Amino acid sequence: MSEKVYGIDMGTNSIKIYQKSAGVIVHQKNMIAMVKKDEPLALGDEAYSMYEKAPKNISVKKPIVNGVIADFTAMQIMIQLYFRGSRGRKGMEGLNSGGNAEFLIAVPHDITDVEKRAFYDLIASSSLKSRKILLVEKPIADALGAGLNVMDATGRLIVNIGADTTEISLISLGGIVQSRLLKIGGTKFDEAIQQAVKKTHNLVIGMKSAERLKKELASGIREEEERTYEATGRNLITGLPNRVTVTNHLIFDAMSEHMASIIDAIKFILEKTPPELSMDIMHDGVCMTGGSTNIKNLDLLIQQETGLSIMKVEEPELSVAKGLGMIMENPEYERLASTLQESSFQ
């Protein structure tokens, strides 16, 4: 591969871009603020600061929903702006004028061929000069970035709990043996917290407030000790701003159904696992990645429910991007990336 190679992980919550020999050069919220439908105002963390606060003439969008491209135009504008070094972002300035580049794009495994092709077309139909566009199964890149050896005949079970989705994958010999994609992640947890606070305290809170409550109070297992955190919002009865005290027990109850669904999906994959690979998983346990794995005691919940040991990685939200980097940096992994024609994404 040439030196001008970029790996792109378009997550629901954040976009990560890895440049060969430079590492992760972009890690921003995957949001864009638009004026007049197609005129960009801000992107990334700057756009996120406008979320739930913008006037009607400014639309703050999440281009990726449930792991797939929901707004193709908005996502393509974002990619092009990042690679032009727009709005003071100098890390990739001159890409267009400096010659063609190669792109590795991480795509979820358990989505339709049309949805997978959209990731390819995002770069192919853009103004970027691409010499080659390669696709990488996201669970494979995820496992590599987590430090797992995906090339041998050992079974590896990886659970990526992200913002909108949970992807559970069994990997062996550089391929995916079993996989399941759930439309459950951090956003579902936040929505459940919103509803619980509304029902219990007659308080309407925003998604950012719900996320803060999750970070402060959420736990994978019910805690005996009560912890509290204040939430501010609009009183449903009076219509006036109000502040209430929320407990960790309310947050646990709100999230418990979604956490149970994740556990059920992990057990489903384990039930479908061939016996020889089951032995490997029994020995090595489960690898957890994705930003939502930072929820307190979530690893302990999975351990209790499955009886398997849990491996957590540093910076779990960056494991896919780091895996793309390993593929472009190490010739032995090049076969893990494929062109559209080589893959089954047509």
* Among 226, 227, 181, 217, residue whose Cα is nearest residue 297: 217
Lowest mean pLDDT among 2-11, 72-81, 142-151: 2-11
Residue 36: per-residue pLDDT: 82
- Of 260 and 89, the one with more pLDDT: 260
Residues 6+ away with beta carbon under 8 Å from 303 = 309, 310
Q: Which of 8-22, 84-98, 213-227, 325-339 has the lowest mean pLDDT?
A: 84-98
CA distances from 106 to 57, 119, 340 (A): 33, 8, 13
pLDDT tens, residue by residue, 234-247: 999 999 999 999 99
| Residues in a beta bridge with 191 | none
- Predicted local confidence at residue 84, as pLDDT: 76
Q: Please give the domain boundaries of the chain with CATH numbers for all domains.
A: 5-142+319-338 (3.30.420.40), 150-312 (3.30.420.40)
pLDDT of residue 97: 34
Give pLDDT, residue 322. 97
pLDDT for residue 126 is more than 80 = yes
Cross-strand bridge partners of residue 287: 158, 311
pLDDT at 220 over 60: yes
For residue 173, the model assigns a pLDDT of 95
Mean residue pLDDT across the chain: 92
Secondary structure letter of residue 219 according to DSSP? B
pLDDT tens sequence across 47-105: 999 999 999 999 999 999 999 999 999 999 999 999 875 444 444 443 443 457 899 99
Mean pLDDT along residues 222-230: 97
In 3D space, the residue among 129, 150, 124, 130 whose CA is nearest the CA of residue 138 turns out to be 150
Q: What is the largest CA-CA distance in the chain?
A: 64
Has residue 340 got a pLDDT over 80? no
Note whether 103 and 4 are within 8 A (CB).
no
Q: Which of 146, 231, 155, 235 minimizes the C-alpha distance to 193? A: 231
Closest by Cα among 51, 52, 63, 56 to 36: 56
Instruction: Name the pLDDT band for 124 (thresholds 50, 70, 90).
Output: very high
CA distance 19 to 6: 5
pLDDT in tens, 284-333: 999 999 999 999 999 999 999 999 999 999 999 999 999 999 999 999 99
pLDDT of residue 241: 97
Neighbouring CB atoms inside 10 A of 52's CB total 10
pLDDT of 343 over the 80 cut = no
**Torsion sign across C-alpha atoms 170, 171, 175, 177:** negative
Query: Which residues lie across from 19 on neighbouring strands?
Result: 6, 23
Average pLDDT of the segment spanning 273-290:
96
Cα separation, 346 vs 341, whole angstroms? 7
- Phi-psi map region of 195: left, alpha, beta (phi>0 left; psi -120 to 50 alpha): alpha
pLDDT tens digits, 149-185: 999 999 999 999 999 999 999 999 999 999 999 999 9
How far, CA to CA in Å, does 107 sit from each of 71, 115, 161, 345?
16, 9, 15, 10
Residue 125: CB partners within 8 Å, gap ≥ 6?
76
pLDDT at 341: 60
Nearest residue to 148 via CA among 178, 176, 172: 172
Q: What pLDDT shows up at residue 127?
A: 87
Q: What is the pLDDT of residue 133?
A: 94
Question: What CA dihedral angle connects 233, 238, 244 and 249, to 10 degrees?
Answer: -90
More confident residue, 130 or 227: 227
Pairwise CA distance, residues 289 & 319, whole Å: 7
Angle, helices 207-217/248-272, rounded to nearest 10 degrees: 80
Q: What is the pLDDT of residue 264?
A: 97
